Chain A
Amino acid sequence: MREKGPLYVLTAVFLIVAMGTLAGCGSKGTGTAGSAVKIGEFGPLTGDAATDGTDAKNGATLAVEQINAAGGVLGSKLTLVAMDDQALAPEAMTVVQKLLEQEKVVALLSGSYSTPTLTVSPVVQAAKTPEIVEYATNADITKGGNYIFRTIYSGPTQGAAVADYAVQDKGYKKFAVLYTNDDYGVGNGQAFSAEVTKLGGKVLISRNYVGGTKDFNAILTAVKATNPDAIYVGSYYNEAAQICSQAKQLGLTAQILGDDGFDSPMLVQLAGTSAEGAVFSSPFSRSDPRKMVQDFITTYKARFNADPDMLSAQAFDSTLVLADAMKRANSVTDKEAIRTALSETKGFEGVTGTISFDANNEVIKPVILMTVKDGKFVFLKYQTAAQ
């Protein structure tokens, strides 16, 4: 029996490898041969960020369905191939390579966070595939190359806009800046601090923390001791919700200012009434009276049984911009022509505003400030971004 042991092990290993390869081949996505044009999307569909990734995917899906219902692009139907990257850089790398090499998508949509999007930028640029970044705001993403476009204003733009509002509109002078120590939070936090200082305000205390932190009592106690007028939070909704509720428990009455990471139904669900009155930047206003916006909200709700958030809106617009560029390039396969058409996008009307791309492939559209009133997100004002 002893000598047969290694043989059993080898057989087991062989079987496992064979099954793994077959399983990998199986997940080829919805691609059937034909005139369907494939657009790839990657984002967190599982894990702690799954709400964001799923909302984005839903927005893109709705856009694709509407485009196809109207006859598709240049007669071809669009197919959205969405893959899960769990908001992790290595996973993003894997799925993007799959999308580029196996699925052979003609364009990519990033429905993911800053870190994964930043990581895959060089690969996307090298593959000369046009990519539209739906909501990742790290400034370096578009510096990856001219094939990468972004339909949301970058972190620095948002942070600066909120800073302008805080100092010029509200007259706040003393600030505490808290942000997540990742590619998203650092950009926002630093831009806010820089702009506030430039306008004559003072940042009394600045702290960062790892994403996933739940206990902010110690940090907020230190913040309370400096007695700031306002606290800027450069984080996603999980940390933002904790900060809001723990600040309230500590008796901190400073105004809470935030970034677009606040824009999620989970914020109010996790923070409850402590989120009341918070002001944050966001690319999407639900009370925008334009017909396009209200139709979007209604159809999204009917299709997915949930209210759209800014991620869905961004994804929706990004898909529409892509389809529009394909029409203007008069091609659904020529990546270079599509890229050129994208860079020429001017005044395209989307649910998040009028979209144009500047020379750096960054979007030019007004920053929207929202506030939380009675547990709902309400439009506050347009803030001219300080660029």
Chain B
Amino acid sequence: MEGGRVFFQQLFNGITIGSAYVLIAIGLTMIYGVLELLHFAHGVIYMAGAFSALVAISVFKADIVVAVLVSMVCSGIIGWFVELFAYRPLRNAPKITALISGIGMALVLENVYRILFGAQTKAFPSIGVPQQTISIAKNVSTTNYQLLIMIVTVILVVALQIFLKNTKMGLAMRATAQDLQASSMMGINVDRVISVTFIIGSALAGIAGTFVGLYFNAVYPSMGSMPGMKAFSVVLLGGLGSIPGTIIGGLFLGIVESFADGYLGNFVVGRDAFAFVLLIAVLLIRPSGLFGKRIRKV
């Protein structure tokens, strides 16, 4: 029965990491939904969220709840600025121009943080909420941080769904995602919808960054590049623009990575390869992803 316990342990590990991927990828897929744009600067916003929390806790001695809220606000604002400066002026330009603009923004922001904070990995000062191991069953344990990440992800995702289904802005966002031109003609302030989409998506990425930063006790300027790229994989797997797809995709990737690390032997390229093998497979076999609209080209 040892195998069964290890299985559940790895499952837990996978769901924790998967939850972080979900939080990052949701913003990405929403942004694609309204703008039809692959937002490459999303990874740095994740990183910016983590740094905001680090500054809040180290310099302003905030507690963890305040730090998380601060990181939400900060990354939301940064996301809003990125849209305003990198994408809005190019709204009517070819999509590839906006893509390149996003990449440029990502490079600039990452290096600004590198100049401000240095490239070294930074640890959080001890916050008074230490990682505690919680036993669930014999030999299956989780930590309070892992539970926190999973629970908060669920809350945020549910809150997002409620927002989208039941509020006027949510309705506007869904309409704009369906058809930007038509929505604009119907009187929806498309600029505002796009800004809100960026703010919400970026805030979610910021929370993910904060959680991962706290969980591994490591914050550094390049921490967003790999998760950012993996988020693309998740978004494509789930279907561009589909939030349920992203949730399934994110959890799936997290679980696959955990099981691969746990059960398979040593592979030459490392566990990060899985996300990209998945990406290639999706593009080859079913480019529209699990729940996406049937599209002929990405």
Q: Which residues of A are interface residues toward B (Cβ below 8 A)?
A: 46-48, 50-51, 181, 206-210, 213-215, 217-219, 221-222, 224-225, 238, 242, 245, 248-251, 266, 269-270, 272
Contact = CB atoms under 8 A, between A and B. Distances in A.
Contacts of B271: 209, 213, 218
Contact of A245 (B118, B131, B261): B131
Contacts of A213: 270-271
Given A209-B270, A210-B270, A250 B119 contact: no
B13 interface: yes
Contacts of A214: 216, 218
Contacts of A218: 10, 13-14, 257-262, 271
B211 to A, nearest CB: 13
Nearest to B222: A48
Given A50-B120, A218-B13, A242 B266 contact: no
B204 to A, nearest CB: 20
Contacts of A249: 131, 133, 141, 143
A217 B13 contact: yes
Tell which of A46, A214, A250 has the most Cβ of chain B within 10 Å.
Answer: A214
B189 interface: no
A270 B257 contact: no
Q: Is the interface of A mostly helix, strand, loop or mixed?
A: helix
A181 B270 contact: yes
Interface residues of B, number: 36
9 contacts: A181-B270, A206-B266, A215-B13, A217-B13, A218-B262, A219-B261, A219-B262, A242-B216, A249-B131
Nearest to A205: B265
A251 B121 contact: no
Contacts of B216: 214-215, 242
B130 to A, nearest CB: 8
B6 interface: yes
Nearest to A47: B119
B92 interface: no
Contacts of B60: none
A209 B271 CA distance: 8
Contacts of B118: 50
A111 to B, nearest CB: 17
B272 A210 contact: yes
A345 B121 CA distance: 39
Contact of A269 (B10, B123, B259): B123
B58 interface: no
A374 to B, nearest CB: 15
B286 to A, nearest CB: 27
A227 to B, nearest CB: 9
B217 A245 contact: yes
B258 A251 contact: no
B220 to A, nearest CB: 7
B119 A46 contact: yes
Contact of B9 (A50, A221, A269): A221
A46 B115 CA distance: 11
A270 B216 CA distance: 9
A270 B270 contact: no
Contacts of A206: 266
B121 A238 contact: yes
Interface string B129-144: 0010100000101010
Tell which of A217, A242, A266 has the most Cβ of chain B within 10 Å.
Answer: A217
A251 B141 contact: yes
B262 A222 contact: yes
A250 B141 contact: yes
Contacts of A51: 120
A98 B2 CA distance: 58
Given A48-B220, A270-B218, A272-B126, A217 B120 contact: no
Contacts of A225: 2, 5-6
A221 B123 contact: no
Contacts of A250: 9, 133, 141
A266 B258 CA distance: 27
Contacts of A224: 6, 9, 139
Interface in B71-89: none
A242 B218 contact: yes
Contact of A48 (B5, B119, B141, B265): B119
Nearest to A271: B217
B213 to A, nearest CB: 10
Nearest to B135: A251
Tell which of A50, A238, A270 has the most Cβ of chain B within 10 Å.
Answer: A270
B145 to A, nearest CB: 8
B218 A221 contact: no
Identify the 9 closest CB pairs spanning chains A and B, nearest first.
A218-B261, A210-B270, A217-B13, A218-B262, A218-B258, A214-B216, A221-B9, A222-B262, A225-B6
Nearest to A227: B2
Nearest to A246: B216
Contacts of B265: 207
Contact of B133 (A207, A251, A266, A269): A251
Contacts of A266: 121
Contact of B121 (A46, A207, A270): A270
Contact of A221 (B13, B143, B217): B13
B141 to A, nearest CB: 6
Contact of B6 (A50, A222, A238): A222
A51 B122 CA distance: 12
A251 B133 CA distance: 7
Contacts of A251: 133, 141
A245 B263 CA distance: 22
A213 B14 CA distance: 15
Given A208-B266, A270-B123, 16 more contacts: A50-B119, A50-B120, A207-B265, A218-B259, A218-B261, A219-B262, A222-B261, A238-B121, A242-B216, A245-B131, A249-B143, A250-B9, A251-B133, A266-B121, A270-B121, A270-B217
